[in-house]
Amino acid sequence: MTVPPPQMAMKGLAEELPGSLDTPPPRILVVENLRKRFVQTNGRRREDLVVLDGVNFSMAEGEFVTVVGPSGCGKTTLLNIIAGMEASDWGTVTLNGRRVSSPGTDAVMIFQEDALFPWLTVTENVSFGLRNREVGGAERERIASEYLEMVQLGRFANSYMHQLSGGMKQRVAIARALAISPRILLMDEPFGALDYRTREILQAQITSIHEKTRKTILFVTHDVREAVSLGDRVLLLSGRPSRIKREYIVDVPRPRSADDPQIQRVIGRIVEDLKEEVSFGSPGEVVASSED
């Protein structure tokens, strides 16, 4: 594996770059002033629950950005809005120069839950998204097998989902998303339900896929270690009502080791900031159980 050229050499970790004004073009995703609230019925009372309160950030083509935050802070809602699955109350999402208002194949999500179709084989699952395109059957199969090879599941092409382990399923999900060749991959705690060992393997795999495909990836997690060891940048969401509290640049070449002192330092800072976030009267942890 080659070491990518350090773009901002020797910068270490830069913090609190507000809005990144020295924007290196092109920006594939621009999220501006995003607000979202839900109306919650709590017994007879109707309460407004502000989940996102002015979220701003942008991503360059090919960038791998991770998002961490206390549970219940609206990470999933943020991804849903970017994918066009949910509408925001205020603000805009611009993907590839176009405003997002409905689901489209430019942004494809990978979920924490098992979202693969149990009635289809692995290959059929991976090629599912191509059914909506003008792509012939043979071509569909070729693309599917290409991505299955990428996640090293070629041998399981004809298996059904119940024959796969949790980690294998998530690899199929990654292949299925890549097969559509979206502009951006939205990953919603994709490894959250896996055991520690499997997580590490999948983290290594997503890193190498990113190296290979240079796909733009927005990766949400509540695991700070995971966020730092994967991302070029880590965004810290504050507790509800959420906004981007801080940004950390992780300028460490890949493959990374969790023992790398610089990685450790960033992890330390985020954990500190997160602690402050939780203790500072943020309802994040407390109300978290009612809604995520």
Partner 1 sequence: MGHLKGALDVVLGLVIFCIAWQLVFWAKVYPPYLLPSPAAVLDRLVAMAQSGQLGLGIEVTLGRLLAGFSISVLLGLGVGLAMVNFSRFGRVMNSFSLGLQSFPSIAWVPFAILLVGLNDLGIVFVMVVASVFSMMASTYAALRNIPPIYVKAARNMGTKGLALFTGVLLPASLPSLVTGLRQAWSFAWHALVGAEILMATVGLGALLEFGAEFVRMDQIIASMITIFAIGLVADRLVFSVVEERVRSSRGLTTQTR
Among 24, 40, 99, 117, the residue binding partner 1 under the rule CB under 8 A is 117
Instruction: Output 74 or 129, the one with its CB closest to partner 1.
Output: 129
Decide: is 141 part of the binding site for partner 1 (CB under 8 A). no
Nearest to 110 by CA among 97, 126, 124, 130: 126
**What is the nearest approach in angstroms of partner 1 to the Cβ of residue 174?**
13
* Pairing outcome for strands 184-188 and 216-220: parallel
Buried b (16+ CB within 10 A) or exposed e, 179-216: bbbbbbbbbbbbbbbbeeebbeebbebbbebbeeeebb
Q: Which residue has the tokens 């502000």?
A: 50
Q: Which of residues 158-187 bind partner 1 (CB under 8 A)?
A: 160-163, 176, 180
By the rule CB under 8 A, 119 interacts with partner 1? yes
**Separation between Cα atoms, residue 69 and residue 188, nearest integer Å:** 12
Lookup: tokens for 279? 């203790």
Using alpha carbons, list the distances in angstroms from residue 121 to 179, 190, 246: 15, 21, 43
Asked if 135 is part of the footprint of partner 1 (rule: CB under 8 A), the reply reads: no
Does 292 engage in binding with partner 1 (CB under 8 A)?
Answer: no
Stretch of residues binding partner 1 (CB under 8 A), selected from 128-136, 148-156, 195-203, 255-263: 128-136
191 lies in the site for partner 1, by CB under 8 A: no
Applying CB under 8 A, the site for partner 1 has a residue count of: 27
Q: Does 111 bind partner 1 (CB under 8 A)?
A: yes
Residue 144 contacts partner 1 per CB under 8 A: no
Contact assessment for residue 283 and residue 239, using Cβ atoms and an 8 Å cutoff: yes
Interface residues with partner 1 (CB under 8 A)? 83, 85, 103-105, 107-109, 111, 113-120, 128-129, 131-132, 160-163, 176, 180
